[in-house]
Structure 1
Amino acid sequence: MVLIKEREMEIPVIEFGELDGENRSKTMALLDHACDKWGFFMVDNHGIDKELMEKVKKMINSHYEEHLKEKCYQSAMVKALTEGKTSDADWESSFFISHKPTSNICEIPNNSEELR
């Protein structure tokens, strides 16, 4: 597993190109370790078209700017963080999005079909 150092934090990088070869077991073990010990990781060589990723990124950023940014800065979580306090809530719950056991993604205001 490669670790990318970003400022003072190292981020595990998983080489997904290795999942279809003789290093599959080793790569799966690295993935398990990153999930268990870090909770997140960066994926390299995942096979998703870069143009598609850029389109999705632009749509998400646009949706955030138009519909969520103001709400985010008014949230109790962000206000607490700007005051140097910590919060036990997770970011997803601050936007009232849930996916399990049922999703409310279709109920979110200003959520276009394309973004869904």
Structure 2
Amino acid sequence: MAIPVIDFSTLNGDKRDETMALLHEACQKWGCFLIENHEIEGKLMEKVKKVINDYYEENLKESFYQSEIAKRLEKKQDTCDIDWESSFFIWHRPTSNIRKIPNLSEELWLVNSTSNI
């Protein structure tokens, strides 16, 4: 079983209706899909991934360290009911060097304005 793969090169042609139907079905039945031939520059894709991952990591870290699980782990209280992933995360996560959450639209605009899309 493999997730649906949708070829976006057919989106602006005679097969547009077929492509849109595949997209609709993938969203409805799978909730995810792989897009081929999307024509988005690799440099922009990498920048988008980095900005999103940085934002996610900073928010995830902040909310996790404020959670009751993290507080119990830091205080070395009883943790027998905490799964191993949570305890591994709190003890082995490297210290972040992120000082602020980036302005996503500004970051992406800067990359997009310098690319040849």
Give the aligned residue type for 1:10. Answer: A
Asked which structure has the greater RCO (Cα within 8 Å, sep 6+), the reply is 2
Question: After TM superposition, what 4+ stretches of structure 1 lie above 4 angstroms from structure 2?
Answer: 72-76, 80-83
Output the TM-score relative to the length of structure 2: 0.52
Structure 2 alignment gaps of length 5 or more: 69-80, 85-99, 106-117
Structure 1 alignment gaps of length 5 or more: 1-8, 84-109
Give the aligned residue type for 1:50. Answer: G
Q: Which has the higher strand share?
A: 1
Which residue number in structure 1 is paired with residue 12 of structure 2? 20
Give the aligned residue type for 2:59. Answer: L
Paired residues, what number?
78
SS at match of 1:63: helix
Confirm whether residue 62 of structure 1 aligns to residue 54 of structure 2. yes
Which residue number in structure 2 is paired with residue 29 of structure 1? 21
SS at match of 2:6: strand
For residues 63 and 29 of structure 1, do their structure 2 counterparts lie closer, same or farther at Cα, with a shift above 3 Å needed? closer
Q: Which has the higher helix share?
A: 2
Shift of 1:14: 0.8
Which residue number in structure 2 is paired with residue 71 of structure 1? 62
- The alignment-based identity, stated in percent, is 47
For residues 72 and 46 of structure 1, do their structure 2 counterparts lie closer, same or farther at Cα, with a shift above 3 Å needed? farther
Structure exhibiting the larger radius of gyration computed from Cα positions: 2
Shift of 1:16: 0.7
